[in-house]
Structure 1
Amino acid sequence: MRISHLLPLLRGELVYPGRVSHLVGAPDAVREVVRVEAGLLAGVSTPRGRAFLGIPYAAPPIGPLRWRAPQPVAGWQGECEATRTGSPAVQTIGQGRFAPVSGSEDCLYLNVYTPPGRNDAPAGGWPVMVFLHGGAFALGAADNYDPSLLAAEQRVMVVAPNYRMGAFGFLAHPDMAAEQPDGGSGNFGLLDQQAALRWVRDNVAAFGGDPSQVTLFGESAGAWSTSYQMLSPGAAGLVHRAILQSGTAVDPLSIVPVFEAERAGATFAEGLGASGIEELRALPATQIARAPAIRRGIMGPGSWGPVWGEGVIPTEPARAFAESAFQRMPVIVGTNSDEGRLFGLGIRSHGDFVARVRADWGADADAVLARYPAETRAEAQQAFADVITDARFAHPADRMRRLLAGQVPVYGYRFDDDNAPFALPHPWAPMATRAYHAGELAYVFGTRWVLANPARFAPAQAALARRIRDAWGAFARGEKLGDWPRFTAAEPAVKVLSPNGDRVEADFAERYGCAFWDARSG
């Protein structure tokens, strides 16, 4: 970010200069214009693919539209420049009056990447993959990722939307429920994702995409979102396959009923001096962004995430999946071998570890501390990493696969590269990160992102990355997955994706202590 962009940020203003794909600046890039429902879009086409960036898919959720369901985007005259990404959602690292805030409430934009040559699309169009970014429903953006290689190599179209996050996307409040009886309180970010999926249905054919072959995939909060969309009546018919990378809606700690979230939302408003939703709408975005969350979300107390019990997600997730109250489709559900090591880096002491476990697990904390003993800081970091890996990722993935098995085709994986590239230097990562949370993203996209650069791949890692992309592409195209067996109750097969050679294992549940965590799932 340039200084000229940083200065308004320091004054508390929300600005974003946008980013461009490497395709936009390529010497052989040519301008290409496509007509969508709202008007003309001017993107770029190269021999390596096409990119159309910063496409508005809904009206800006600002002013009176803050905390309302996304509204249709207004059309425009002439050509809309589509060579620079739109702003991410409002987000901050930390709380307090001086916490840095970035992004904008005007964030409902998406990016489109396709293979080269619109005329080279198959008769029915390219299959479409819609990627939902992660970030604990509080951080991140679609433009952190470059799906252009995945699109060109796998002959698929990739769409990556932003969606509202933090309090703007997942605050629940009784006033919101009263003014929007069809649902939304606590789930506006999910409604944004559905608006993006409707845009896909209505517009991808103009780029050469096939709206009848849509795979929704996401990592972390994006995976949680994908599984929630499988449960939402508003997403019915918009998605035909799903890939969950490290996150599911059946994680016991993230299952929050709307009435509980609305009580917390009323307290949140009171803490900002607002007596109701209209006074909250009048507050500056920076003030809301800097206020700490006071309810449980996907990362435990004090974070954000979706809720159930209203129109967007009517039924408690685990019950809904068990009772077949979901959109039936083939699903890949996977995790990484060492998910929690990324989070273990934040443990400062043994006391910190104990406090985190007690905050998350309450009456079960003593049993958890006994199963994961630690005394030193290093041991506490590793113990916390193991708790997060087992409880928040491995066990929910195993639970999800077992709930789906027998109802839809489901496939399991475990990403297992002990040397997955990690961008932060050693002082920031005193514990080896191994196959950490989000470590697979550089393999799925084959392009650089915040935490990893595929340029650092050894040959075996590059080969693994290609196998992963080939599997994701084949799944999106509706093809068989070669030697990857389906997960069933009788044969709980999980494919281990490793640079040392892939294999199939049947002991995933035992490896990660799923029986222990099953007993604490409620």
Structure 2
Amino acid sequence: MAPRIPPAADVNPVVRIGQGALVGRIEAGVAGFKGVPYAAPPVGPLRWRAPQPPAGWPGLRDAATVGPICVQPPAGGDPGVGPLPMSEDCLTLNVWTPDAGDGPLPVMVWIHGGALISGSGTAALYDGTALARRGVVVVTINYRLGRLGVFAHPALSAEAGGGGLVGNYGLADMIAGLEWVRDNIAVFGGDPANVTVFGESAGGAAILRLMIAGPARGLFHRAVVQSGLGRDVGTPVFAGRDGRPSLEARGVAFADSLGLAGATAAQLRAVPTGRLLSPPPSFYGGDLLVLDGHDGHGLIDADVEPAFAAGRQAAVPLIIGSNSDEFGDIRPEDMSPWRELDAAMTGPERQALHAAYGGADGYRAGVVSDLAFNEPARRLARLHARAGHPTWLYRFDVVAAAMPGARAGAPHGSERPYVFDNLSAAPWPVGERDRRVATAMAGYWTGFAATGDPNGDQRPVWPEYRATPGQLLMFGNDGPAAAPVPFVERLDLIEALYARIH
């Protein structure tokens, strides 16, 4: 039984982990410990290496403030990016725990989104206080981004040898963070045998990869995937695919652009941080989703959908879903790989899809959201349920009354302040309707973390997908309600298209 954190507001809570003692702060009945190193700073000779154990410290370490965000381009208004400063020395995490709770409590570990090039676990949007007050321990982490998180080059591969980590450093950071949780979370009142990973966008895509990564097996026991793609195709580190360059070849081209043809590993590690940001790597162009498995080594050796189809995913309860208007402002000709899918359609396929969307304009406005998020979420829910694992599918369709612009539904990322019940951090004004949805959504998520089933506490019943295939929970402006999966004709046509192409 972990020691209880002192409840008095004027007493700063102290916990002792393997690295040393931490001094946190209590706010709104929750103790927070911020900026805690979970791995050694990945700088100098540790740039582009597997995360290493963190050093300890003597005496008391103040854990009142978050650490630097990882190196990334300017925020551009995304509320999922935390405050500056920015540094390569960024592998820290933050913990929120009820200050008077009896352990062991369920643990929820958040993996932020941002296309693997931006974001952090330090944003006010991801403050864990409101969730922790529901009786869970919340952890948010930073992980390496952009070319510091995903990069390969023959010089680095030679240095790593046949069994070393190559290319997939950001995902390795997430695994290191989960190992830290396993080893340390009990002193915060958390249960290392009841860990839920949850994440959005690139964070959701990362969780799907954690579900098929051997080194992550057993480090979490439930998973929540919010808008996590699922049909994406990874780039192999060493061998090209479909005539496209490998991750190593992409790394060589980037080094050459810096005037470093034939560079050594030491020369690559000496490149100033700012030069790694431009031109930015492309999430959708194949620079950041990587297949690093080779000869029995590495983290990921298959794409997510085929791995789920083969039953290779972690046998854990899963919540998965998407938003109703994810990429409503993106057209199929705007962005790869959906531009390629659009171009690969036969005449009859295109005609049928146009009809399902009510015409060419409806198709162009809605097909990317379905190709990227809505159909893949349904597909993975089906596969996970088929493998015999508890599965719940959702659709988020809440549009705040004050959200700017005319929207056909809920845009990408708009569910995050509701999940965290942090509506004060939403980028638009909210009202009572939004507060009701946030209360319900945070309740489902924390209930799932506690028991492996989101139902209970008089919430509307969320049908489990194995028992009721074709049913999901719709989070709408009037609250959550069970409903049939919407627009099944569109999704069926897209599923058939994927089956023919792949």
Would the TM-score normalized by the shorter structure come out above 0.5?
A: yes
In structure 2, the CA distance between the partners of 1:354 and 1:406, relative to structure 1 (3 Å rule), is closer
The 5 A counterparts of 1:358-373 are 360-362=338-340, 364-365=342-343, 367=345
CA distance in 1, matches of 2:401, 2:364: 20
CA distance in 2, matches of 1:292, 1:369: 33
In structure 2, the CA distance between the partners of 1:29 and 1:468, relative to structure 1 (3 Å rule), is farther
Give 3-state SS (helix, strand or coil) of 1:154's partner: coil
CA distance in 1, matches of 2:479, 2:326: 20
Aligned pair 1:87/2:68, yes or no? yes
In structure 2, the CA distance between the partners of 1:35 and 1:334, relative to structure 1 (3 Å rule), is same
Does the aligned pair in 1 maintain the 2:391–2:464 contact within 8 Å? yes
The 5 A counterparts of 1:168-207 are 168-180=148-160, 181-207=162-188
TM superposition shift of 1:262: 2.1
The structure whose residues are more often helix, as a share, is 1
Aligned pair 1:437/2:420, yes or no? no
State the Cα RMSD in Å: 2.8
Does the aligned pair in 1 maintain the 2:29–2:133 contact within 8 Å? no
CA distance in 2, matches of 1:88, 1:165: 10
CA distance in 2, matches of 1:322, 1:243: 19
Task: Tell me the amino acid that sits aligned with residue 267 of structure 1.
Answer: A
Aligned pair 1:107/2:90, yes or no? yes
Aligned pair 1:251/2:239, yes or no? no
In structure 2, the CA distance between the partners of 1:474 and 1:41, relative to structure 1 (3 Å rule), is same
TM superposition shift of 1:504: 2.1
CA distance in 2, matches of 1:143, 1:77: 25
In structure 2, the CA distance between the partners of 1:512 and 1:80, relative to structure 1 (3 Å rule), is farther
TM superposition shift of 1:473: 0.8
TM-score by length of 2: 0.84
Does the aligned pair in 2 maintain the 1:357–1:369 contact within 8 Å? no
Q: 2:254 aligns with which of 247, 268, 277?
A: 268
The 5 A counterparts of 1:407-446 are 407=387, 408-419=389-400, 422=403, 426=404, 430-432=405-407, 434-446=409-421
**Deviation sequence 1:445-475 (CA, Å, 0-9, x none):** 111476535xx33323211111111111110
Aligned pair 1:304/2:279, yes or no? no
Does the aligned pair in 1 maintain the 2:224–2:320 contact within 8 Å? yes
Q: Counterpart of 2:384?
A: 404
The 5 A counterparts of 1:418-497 are 418-419=399-400, 422=403, 426=404, 430-432=405-407, 434-448=409-423, 451-452=426-427, 456-478=429-451, 480-482=453-455, 483-488=461-466, 491-497=469-475
Q: 1:507 aligns with which of 485, 490, 496?
A: 485
Does the aligned pair in 2 maintain the 1:234–1:312 contact within 8 Å? yes
CA distance in 1, matches of 2:352, 2:155: 43
**How many equivalent pairs are there?**
458
Q: Counterpart of 1:19?
A: none
Does the aligned pair in 1 maintain the 2:321–2:393 contact within 8 Å? yes
In structure 2, the CA distance between the partners of 1:479 and 1:255, relative to structure 1 (3 Å rule), is closer
Does the aligned pair in 2 maintain the 1:29–1:46 contact within 8 Å? no
Q: 1:164 aligns with which of 144, 147, 153?
A: 144
TM superposition shift of 1:48: 1.9
Does the aligned pair in 2 maintain the 1:176–1:184 contact within 8 Å? no
Aligned pair 1:331/2:306, yes or no? no
In structure 2, the CA distance between the partners of 1:496 and 1:355, relative to structure 1 (3 Å rule), is closer
In structure 2, the CA distance between the partners of 1:511 and 1:81, relative to structure 1 (3 Å rule), is farther
In structure 2, the CA distance between the partners of 1:320 and 1:183, relative to structure 1 (3 Å rule), is farther
Q: Counterpart of 1:36?
A: 17
In structure 2, the CA distance between the partners of 1:150 and 1:178, relative to structure 1 (3 Å rule), is farther
CA distance in 2, matches of 1:383, 1:102: 43
Aligned pair 1:59/2:40, yes or no? yes
Does the aligned pair in 1 maintain the 2:34–2:63 contact within 8 Å? yes
CA distance in 1, matches of 2:335, 2:18: 50
**Unpaired stretches in structure 1, ≥5 consecutive residues:** 1-26, 96-100, 348-352, 374-378
Task: Tell me the amino acid that sits aligned with residue 494 of structure 1.
Answer: L
Aligned pair 1:151/2:131, yes or no? yes
**Unpaired stretches in structure 2, ≥5 consecutive residues:** 1-7, 77-83, 240-245, 355-359, 456-460
In structure 2, the CA distance between the partners of 1:280 and 1:513, relative to structure 1 (3 Å rule), is same
Give 3-state SS (helix, strand or coil) of 1:142's partner: coil
Q: Counterpart of 2:458?
A: none
Does the aligned pair in 1 maintain the 2:212–2:304 contact within 8 Å? yes
Does the aligned pair in 2 maintain the 1:131–1:160 contact within 8 Å? yes
Q: Counterpart of 1:135?
A: 114
In structure 2, the CA distance between the partners of 1:513 and 1:264, relative to structure 1 (3 Å rule), is same
Does the aligned pair in 1 maintain the 2:320–2:394 contact within 8 Å? yes
Give 3-state SS (helix, strand or coil) of 1:31's partner: coil
In structure 2, the CA distance between the partners of 1:501 and 1:33, relative to structure 1 (3 Å rule), is closer
Q: Structure 1 vs Structure 2: percent identity of aligned residues?
A: 36
Task: Tell me the amino acid that sits aligned with residue 282 of structure 1.
Answer: A
In structure 2, the CA distance between the partners of 1:183 and 1:448, relative to structure 1 (3 Å rule), is farther
